[in-house]
């Protein structure tokens, strides 16, 4: 292997530096490893149970709030921007005829929409370029919430210790029941998504009935109707095509990224859809059926005894697709955790840092989550009993801009003193206020 590029890391007050293990090498886990490394902590390893990552998922958005942090940590965000959807605008349309209801810059929503697998590859390369060890096929099966160092046990039987263990292990997190002290079952959001991602065939591209949204490079469109909506976007200049239909769900689809969907059911759902997009949807051969599950907001993100096992990303703040902020909020959480660990002077105070981290992050992630719920509800309600009523374009626009001009690290440093006082008081009295 050639020599790795050098990355500047910030000074840490801890000598030797705090050690960290990150569980999960998804976008959240990669961001955590990069942020901890940037702030001078020692990342012992990033563990993932998967042996090899495939190009999993489909479209995912990253906002400016995430890019600004990644850039500060020395990541070349142009690598992401280059492979994202290049359309300047997106259009919100009426379900049955495609009439444009509102057009706004793509920046108002996702920032950059790209393939999750492609973005993930870039994140993984950033971690590896820093010399951080990513251990694939390493499944964590147990936790010991012990002081001063918690530990984890791998399926192989190996036991690993660190000053802090970051559980970025996704929506079905194994660490979450440990942190909560009980199992929290997924709660149906009442909706599910059919989603498909494919390269249209040459015949489909040549067919004027199917190709309306494959003609001029990248595009992003939404069709909204009563209690359902369809998102369409392209990638690689129109070479790849993605559609996602969010619809009412009263069935028992398992919570999975890999559940095969029923195209006959999709064809039934889109019978009333604008014919100019319906053609390519009904011509699709396969789709996935993804039940959108909620987790109730958690009362804590930190383990109860050592306070040194912390949740991050989807394990504690999963988002609806309409928020387009799941990965970006995980990046913010990574920055805040890394910063908090440098506000304490001694490693015996790690619990002060982790308790401050959850207090600093919780309100912001809730606001971002509910922003996605608000958009879904506005879209699904906009055309109910529409008749000849005019739709106010503002009422269906995406309202994500306020999330972008925010430096999560700067906010954490600015509010540190105030939050630390609360945490100190709670730890002294033993009366810890739950996050919700
Ligand atoms: C397969 C898949 C497809 C997705 N597709 C999309 C999509 O198309 N669009 C979108 O917006 N979002 C998608 N997401 C969600 C999106 O990636 C996340 O919302 C966001 O990136 C934050 O992710 P995270 O890192 O917190 O969790 P995740 O992306 O879920 O990553 C968690 C990681 O932890 C690993 N892991 C879990 N348990 C263990 C364990 N016990 N031991 C070791 N490792 C463990 C998993 O293998 C996984 O790699 C997808 C997630 C997954 C897992």
pLDDT tens digits along 367-415: 999 999 999 999 999 998 766 678 999 999 999 999 999 999 999 999 9
Distance 327 CA to ligand 1 centre (A): 9
For ligand 1, atom 31, the nearest C-alpha belongs to 26
For ligand 1, atom 51, the nearest C-alpha belongs to 57
Q: Give the C-alpha separation, 36 to 409, whole Å.
A: 12
Ranges in the chain, pLDDT < 50: 1
Q: Give the C-alpha separation, 354 to 112, whole Å.
A: 31
Distance 26 CA to ligand 1 centre (A): 5
- pLDDT tens-digit map of 192-207: 899 999 999 999 999 9
Are 145 and 175 within 8 A, CB to CB? no
**Domain 187-294 architecture:** 2-Layer Sandwich (3.30)
CA–CA distances in Å: residue 371 to residues 19, 249, 319: 35, 21, 10
CA–CA distances in Å: residue 299 to residues 2, 184, 235, 327: 46, 11, 39, 21
Q: What is the pLDDT of residue 253?
A: 55
Which of 142, 170, 309 to probe ligand 1 with, by most ligand atoms within 8 A of CB? Answer: 170
Distance 301 CA to ligand 1 centre (A): 18
Provide CATH 3.30.9.30 ranges for the chain: 187-294
Cβ of 274 closer than 6 Å to ligand 1, yes or no, is no
H helix or E strand, kind and range, residue 144:
strand 140-144
Cβ of 114 closer than 6 Å to ligand 1, yes or no, is no
Q: Give the C-alpha separation, 363 to 367, whole Å.
A: 6
Q: What is the pLDDT of residue 111?
A: 82
Cβ of 58 closer than 6 Å to ligand 1, yes or no, is yes
Of 71, 95, 102, nearest to 8 by C-alpha is: 71
Which of 21, 24, 291 to probe ligand 1 with, by most ligand atoms within 8 A of CB? Answer: 24
Cβ of 174 closer than 6 Å to ligand 1, yes or no, is yes
**CATH tag, 19-85+116-184+296-381+400-429:** 3.50.50.60
Q: Give the C-alpha separation, 220 to 252, whole Å.
A: 30
Q: Give the C-alpha separation, 309 to 167, whole Å.
A: 7
Cβ of 17 closer than 6 Å to ligand 1, yes or no, is no
Provide CATH 3.50.50.60 ranges for the chain: 19-85+116-184+296-381+400-429
């Amino acid at each position: 292997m050639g020599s790795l590029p050098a990355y500047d890391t910030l000074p840490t007050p801890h000598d030797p530096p705090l050690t960290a293990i990150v569980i999960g090498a998804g976008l959240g886990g990669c961001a955590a490893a990069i942020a901890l490394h940037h702030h001078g902590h020692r990342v012992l390893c990033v563990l993932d149970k998967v042996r090899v990552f495939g190009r999993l998922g489909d479209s995912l958005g990253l906002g400016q709030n995430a890019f600004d942090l990644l850039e500060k940590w020395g990541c070349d965000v142009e690598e992401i921007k280059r492979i994202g959807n290049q359309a300047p605008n997106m259009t919100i349309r009426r379900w049955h005829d495609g009439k444009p209801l509102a057009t706004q810059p793509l920046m108002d929503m996702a920032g950059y929409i790209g393939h999750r697998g492609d973005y993930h590859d870039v994140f993984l390369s950033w971690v590896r370029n820093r010399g951080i060890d990513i251990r694939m096929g390493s499944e964590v099966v147990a936790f010991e919430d012990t002081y001063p160092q918690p530990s984890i046990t791998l399926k192989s039987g190996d036991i690993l210790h660190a000053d802090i263990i970051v559980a970025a292990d996704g929506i079905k997190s194994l660490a979450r029941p440990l942190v909560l002290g009980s199992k929290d079952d997924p709660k149906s959001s009442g909706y599910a998504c059919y989603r498909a991602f494919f390269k249209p065939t040459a015949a489909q591209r040549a067919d004027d009935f199917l190709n309306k949204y494959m003609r001029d490079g990248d595009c992003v469109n939404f069709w909204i109707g009563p209690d359902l909506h369809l998102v369409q976007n392209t990638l690689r200049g129109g070479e790849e095509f993605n559609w996602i239909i969010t619809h009412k769900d009263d069935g028992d689809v398992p919570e999975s990224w890999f559940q095969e969907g029923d195209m006959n059911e999709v064809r039934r759902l889109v019978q009333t859809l604008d014919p100019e997009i319906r053609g390519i949807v009904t011509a699709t051969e396969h789709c996935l059926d993804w039940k959108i599950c909620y987790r109730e907001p958690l009362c804590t993100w930190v383990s109860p005894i050592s306070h040194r096992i912390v949740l991050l990303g989807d394990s504690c703040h999963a988002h609806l697709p309409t928020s387009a902020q799941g990965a970006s909020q995980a990046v913010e959480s990574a920055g805040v955790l890394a910063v908090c660990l440098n506000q304490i002077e001694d490693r015996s105070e790690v619990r002060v840092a982790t308790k401050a981290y959850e207090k600093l992050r919780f309100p912001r992630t809730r606001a971002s989550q509910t922003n996605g719920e608000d958009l879904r509800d506005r879209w699904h309600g906009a055309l109910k009993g529409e008749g000849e009523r005019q739709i106010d374009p503002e009422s269906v626009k995406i309202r994500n801009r306020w999330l972008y001009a925010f430096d999560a690290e700067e906010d954490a440093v600015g509010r540190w003193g105030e939050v630390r006082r609360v945490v100190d008081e709670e730890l002294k009295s033993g009366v810890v206020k739950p996050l919700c």
